[in-house]
Amino acid sequence: MLDNLDVGTVSYNVAIKKYTTYKLDGTIKTLVVPDNTRQLINVIKYAKENNIKYKVIGNGSNLIFADDFDGIIIKLDNFNHLEIIDNFVVVGAGYSLPLLALNLSKEGYSGLEFAAGIPGTVGGSIFNNAGAYKSDMAAVVKSILVLTPDLEIKRLSSEDLKFNYRTSFLKDHPDYICLEAIIKLIKGHTDVIMEVIDSRKKRRMETQPLDYPSAGSIFRNSDDFSAWKLIDGIGYKGKQIGDAKVSEKHANFIINVGNAKGKDVIKLIDEIKEKVKEKYDIELVLEQEIVK
């Protein structure tokens, strides 16, 4: 039993909605929050030895749980150390990305302004190469520490991470777990940096349905199209299945207007992809991750 092992805090049968921004209905069988790398290794060894599926998550801000999760969810909330050395920031994978961006911006460090409105953790944001306003994590991450599938600690450079639009080496190799990142920023003028952040926050409030639970943009945009225009074009703005609804404020958001289930969100996604393909002959690429 996990309770008898040195793995950190263990909880059972917890609500998925407490650990994801979609706030979807469902239950996580086992939730583990390790305090350090040793405990993280212990829980992964336990899962592998007992053939139990497991997944490491950040803030759950890009996840759609299809149903109850009958394995182990591992959260790295306690991997939240922070050290600033000149223009380099050493930060734990569990540190809140928007909090990091805001705190460093207030100190006059420039480079993370784009991240102030991205509701993820450092590790999750590197995994997805999260970005906004024509910048992303690839622009600032110099290297990371990972736990490999062989449970060894290794450093990967930015080149090793093979960053591309909303993806990375980690996304293609989910058995590698980000533990810590080194980020490089530049010194700027605090008032100018904060003015940019404040103006973008105002714009998000005006254009995105932030008053409802969601996981941000559903589909990737490209140089050739904006996903929201295609979704609007098939008449799906406001389309609702159960309590999952395509936002009328921004059609590339699915929002939870009550007690939505993962299957409701997934059905909407599948319908949108099918109808966009039929009408525009475009294959939409899902930006969110479905967890089964």
* Catalytic positions: 166, 217, 287
**Sign of torsion over alpha carbons 176, 179, 184, 190:** positive
Residues forming a β-bridge with 184: 88
Calculate ∠ Cα 214-158-120, nearest 5°. Answer: 20
Sheet holding 240-241, edge to edge: 240-241, 244-246, 254-256
Distance separating alpha carbons of residues 111 and 35, to the nearest angstrom: 29
**Among the listed residues 65, 78, 11, 67, the one whose alpha carbon sits nearest the alpha carbon of residue 39:** 78
Burial class for 184, CB neighbours closer than 10 Å (0-12, 13-18, 19+):
middle
**Among the listed residues 163, 179, 158, the one whose alpha carbon sits nearest the alpha carbon of residue 44:** 179
126 and 166 Cβ atoms separated by less than 8 Å: no
26 and 63 Cβ atoms separated by less than 8 Å: no
Ramachandran sector of residue 185 (left: φ over 0; alpha: ψ -120 to 50; beta: rest): beta
β-strands 153-157, 186-187 pairing: unpaired
